[in-house]
Structure 1
Amino acid sequence: MTVRIFTAPIALLSVFAALLATMYLGYASNTEKNLHDFPIALVNQDVGETVDGAPQNFGDQITAALVERVPSDKVDLRLLGISEARAQLKSGRVYGAIIIPSDFTKRLVILGAGAVVPGDMERPVITVHTNPRVGPYATGIMQRIADTALDQVDETVGKTLTERVDATLAAGAADPASDKISGAARLLLADPIDVVQAPYRPMGDGAGQGLIAFFYTLILLLAGFTGAMIIHTMVDSLLGFTPTEYGPWFVQPPATGISRFRTLLIKWAVIGVAAPLLSGVFLGVARLLEVPLPGALLLWLYGTLAIIAVGFTALAVLATFGTAGLLVNLILFVVLGLPSSAATVPLEAVPGYVAVLARFEPMHQIYLAVRAILFFDGSMEAGLSHGVWMTILGVAVGLVLGATATITYDRRGLHRTASGGETPPHPIVARLAGAAR
């Protein structure tokens, strides 16, 4: 028994440590390698231009080059019109957009002519829109993808444009000495595209570059998770099932003999009453800290629902598994929840096993709804609909699990009552107490 006191906790902690390392180090260690299906919109508005009697459209050429060069196994490049691209940016369905303007070919032609005819030269612009409302990490990935792809396109277009101007000068020059492009013009032709990066619907300072949705999600989940732990312990103590310690003193009133199911109903009632109050406290503190809160009423309502869902499920797990439920809840809501939430690193940049967890992990569902309320005007398409229904499902799972387990235990006579008499101390405890005396 003495050996078991050491080996059992150490073995359990070792397994727990391995799980922590796998989830927290594995999901963030190599996002470039794990990248898959990263959604980006590509909009080609270029109408083209007639050059020397022949139609020319550099926008089409760049679109084809991007489709060919952007790795399809890593990036979901969506060819969209400008209206649909803006709609998907607004709802968070794409993490960025590359937009080629309608006068792109015209400006390139003018740039080529400006290399021959003296005058001001202005490079055509391609705009890269990032979507900061889906999170800063996704913004960084979007910028790296756009930089890499457009640098290659810029180099190819520059080479083509320079060769075209050289050929034009060579064919039309009367004096061989005149078929030269100035050094400054040649440098500009070699780098003809001006890539401008601009955030789509940027947020204020109070949004924490998009991270405020993650932290609001975290406090909602912790309110339900830790609230369940506190309610479970305090109610059991008040009903006489467990002792309460105050430093060197402990108190344990006589057990009331109430059934497991009725005990769970009391705990659910407490978290149900506390949930709207806690959600209101979060909103009030956010107001004091000047956090932008569009849709405050909707956020309060959903926050109440989220706390109830997490609290009901956590209490049901404790009623079902007893003390082991503490570890089950920790793994379910925190260890597996944080990496799969998509609140820091998007799911498109994490290992597949983490992305699978997001299908049912509570924190991801809460994050989608909170982000939709805070950043996407409460749009159903931005995740609010999915988040709400999955949270309601979480309430149902907690109710079914808790009721089934406790009613089954009660019917089998597994009551939470002492067998009579004073329970003797464990032999190891008695030996240690004797040694202390």
Structure 2
Amino acid sequence: MAKDVAVQKHAAMPEHTPRVPLRGWIGPMLIITLLAALLGTMYLGYTSDPEKNLHDFPIALVNQDVGDVVNGKTVNIGDQITAALTQKIPSDKVDLSVVGINEAHTRLQEGRAYGAIVIPGDFTKRLNILAASAVVPGDVEQPIITVETNPRAGTYASQIMSRITDQALGQVNATVGAQLTDQVQAQLKPPPGAAPTELVGAARLQLATPIDVVTTPYRPLGSGTGQGLSAFFYTVILLLAGFSSSLLIHAMIDNVLGYVPAEYGPWYRHLPPVAISRWRTLLVKWGIAALTAPLVSGVFLGIALLLDMPIDLKLPLFLYGALAVAAVSITGLSILAAFGTVGLIVNMVLFVVLGLPSSSGTVPIEATPRFIARLADFEPMHQIYLAVRALLFFDGHLESGLGHGLWMTLFGLAVGLLLGFVVTHAYDLRGLYRLGVPHRTETAVVE
């Protein structure tokens, strides 16, 4: 009996191995090389020189200076600085908007500005007091310009904001200092025949850089937020969960239905195929994806809370997380149903390769090459990031990205459902069923 079994196992192996065409060996190498080229272009392209790629970087400029009277004339240095910044900061790189303080703070609260430059109401008056102190001894405070960064909109965006303002306000400080020095020097001009009076060293140094530029975060983030990166990584796990679940559900359900084999180490299983249409197969996969998504979102939320991650809007984050995972998974399953094995590559490119560079979770969209920035209009990861960031850092305001992210996630889900419905019905109507031509398997038996 043991001999019969052994022979049957041997007989089940093909006697002649068919020749594999050359393209069968070269194909994987070519696809991987092309994928590597795309990965290199996307990932290295958006990190190589973000500040060189700046475009439309939103900054608010607030001028509250009321001016002062100098030698009988009304002077407003704040207006002069506003005009200088508007002219000197390149408009093709930075979107500098002159707004009021309330509008500036609204933009910061909604993540529509990466920072604000605030000139206080007594700016000119303090400059005049500083100039007078160079002639008349006394205690004096430097006039202040405040740079408010927005760490909730992105850590790297705050760094870019600081570098832009350091360079621009450094030039402003030098220009105002030169004007102030000339003004004081003119006041010290002696009468005819008298010896000239010069500014002492300390006064000259003080007047050379009269403005104290103070950089401070607007609504700083607390602990447990990864300095603003927690929203990005929460987005990544939501998208990867949806992406991975589409692959797993597709493979495991096809195995259960008998359309693909399963291997577990040395064990091999291939069940008889079930007579089921493509549309009904996709419906089963969609149903499992929809039931799994809330479980996955709940697991992520629970782990975040166990790790003391600050989450004020727990229920909205759970609900949106379930929606995001379901949308990515269902769309991924529809792509696999439409393209088959090629759908694996399509999903990887759509959700991962193009998604991370255009997400704006690490480098702001306004600091990426324009071709990457255009991807953010439709790439799923960017839409999910906007919604998650709004729920975690911006109190769930619709204007802070939640409304846009929610709408685009629903739109993506609708596209995925429509794609799956149309393609599977088209295949079924044309008779392109997944059942192959029946064949007979013969087993050799030794008598």
- Relative to the length of structure 2, the TM-score reads 0.93
Unaligned runs of 5+ in 2: 1-19, 443-447
The answer to whether 1:74 aligns with 2:99 is no
Return the alpha-carbon distance in structure 2 between the equivalents of residues 87 and 16 of structure 1.
Answer: 42
- How far has the Cα of 1:3 moved from its partner? 2.5
Instruction: Measure how far apart 1:5 and its partner are.
Output: 2.9
Q: Secondary structure at the match of 2:263?
A: strand
Q: 1:158 to 1:353 in 2, by over 3 A?
A: same
In 2, the alpha carbon distance for the partners of 1:403 and 1:160 equals 71
- Offset at residue 418 of structure 1 (A): 2.8
Q: Match of 1:191?
A: 209
Q: Structure 1 residues 161 and 248 mapped into 2: Cα distance closer, same or farther (>3 Å)?
A: same
- Alpha-carbon distance in 2 for matches of 1:164, 1:257: 92
Q: 2:265 aligns with which of 240, 247, 253?
A: 247
Give CA deviations for 1:212-255 in whole Å, capped at 9, x if unaligned: 11000001101110011111111111111111111111111111
Q: Secondary structure at the match of 1:41?
A: strand
- Aligned match of 2:13: none
Change (3 A) 1:422 1:44: farther
Residue 398 and residue 119 in structure 1: after superposition, are their counterparts in 2 closer, same or farther (change >3 A)? same
1:6 is displaced (CA, Å) by 2.6
1:151 and 2:173 correspond:
no
Partner of 1:354: 372
Cα distance in 1 for partners of 2:302, 2:246 equals 22
Deviations 1:69-120 (A, max 9, x none): 1011100000000000000010011100000000000100000000011112
Which AA in structure 2 matches 1:7?
I
The correspondence for 2:277, drawn from 259, 266, 271, is 259
What is the TM-score with the length of structure 1 in the denominator? 0.95
Q: In the aligned structure 1, how far is the partner of 2:80 from the partner of 2:214?
A: 19
Select which of 50, 60, 71 maps to 1:41.
Answer: 60
Q: Following superposition, which runs of at least 4 residues in structure 1 exceed 3 angstroms of deviation?
A: 171-175
> Which residue of structure 1 lines up, in the alignment, with residue 77 of structure 2?
58
Which one of the candidate residues 312, 317, 329 is aligned to 2:330?
312
Q: Secondary structure at the match of 2:433?
A: coil
RMSD, aligned α-carbons:
1.4
Structure 1 pair 263–32 and aligned structure 2 pair: CA distance change class (3 A): same
CA distance in 2, matches of 1:281, 1:107: 56
Counterpart position of 1:430? none
Alignment counterpart, residue 222 of structure 1, candidates 204, 223, 240:
240
SS at match of 1:77: strand
**Which string of whole-angstrom CA distances, capped at 9 and with x for unpartnered residues, describes residues 268-311 of structure 1?**
00010111111111110000111111211111111111011101
Aligned-residue offset at 1:175: 5.4
Tell me how far 1:355 sits from its aligned partner: 0.8
Aligned residue among 5, 15, 18 for 2:34: 15
> How is 1:267-346 mapped onto 2 (pairs within 5 angstroms)?
267-346=285-364
Q: How far off its partner does 1:258 sit?
A: 1.2
Residue type matched to 2:356 in 1?
A: L
Residues 351-408 of structure 1 deviation map (CA, whole Å, 9 limit, x = unaligned):
1110111111111110111111111110111111111111001111111111111111
Call closer, same or farther: CA 1:45–1:282 in 2, change over 3 Å.
Answer: same
Alignment counterpart, residue 135 of structure 1, candidates 144, 149, 154: 154
1: CA distance, partners of 2:315 / 2:284: 28
Identity of aligned residues (%): 60
- Choose the corresponding residue for 1:89, options 98, 108, 127: 108
1:201 aligns with 2:184: no
Paired amino acid for 2:133: G
Gaps spanning 5+ residues in structure 1: where? 425-437
* Paired residue type of 1:8: G
- Most deviating of 165-174 and 124-133: 165-174
Higher-Rg member (1/2)? 2
Residue 27 of structure 1: how far off its partner (Å):
1.4
In structure 1, what is the equivalent of residue 420 of structure 2? 402
- Equivalent pairs, count: 423
CA distance in structure 1 between the aligned counterparts of 2:191 and 2:393, rounded to whole angstroms: 58
Q: Distance in 2 between matches of 1:375 and 1:216?
A: 12
Letter in 1 for 2:40: A
1:6 and 2:25 are equivalent in the alignment: yes
Distance 1:5 1:422 in 2: 27
Does residue 1:119 correspond to 2:138, yes or no?
yes
Question: Helix, strand or coil: the match of 1:192?
Answer: coil
What is the alpha-carbon distance in structure 1 between the residues aligned to residue 286 and residue 274 of structure 2? 18
Alignment partners' CA distance in 1, 2:222 and 2:370: 33
Distance 1:247 1:173, change over 3 A: farther
Deviations 1:189-234 (A, max 9, x none): 0010000000000001211111111000001101110011111111
**Where does residue 170 of structure 1 map in the other structure?**
189
Label 1:94 to 1:422 Cα distance change in 2 as closer, same or farther (>3 A): farther
C-alpha displacement of 1:17:
1.2
1:435 — aligned with what?
A: none
Partner Cα distance (2:191, 2:154) in 1: 54
CA distance in 2 between partners of 1:41 and 1:173 (Å):
49
The DSSP-based 3-state class of the residue aligned with 1:102 is coil
Q: C-alpha displacement at 1:126, in angstroms?
A: 0.3
Relative to structure 1, the CA distance from residue 416 to residue 304 in structure 2 (aligned partners, 3 Å threshold; closer, same or farther) is: same
Q: 1:337 aligns to what SS in structure 2? A: coil
- Please tell me whether residue 234 in structure 1 is matched to residue 252 in structure 2: yes
Matched, 1:385 2:403: yes
Q: Give how far 1:134 is off.
A: 0.9
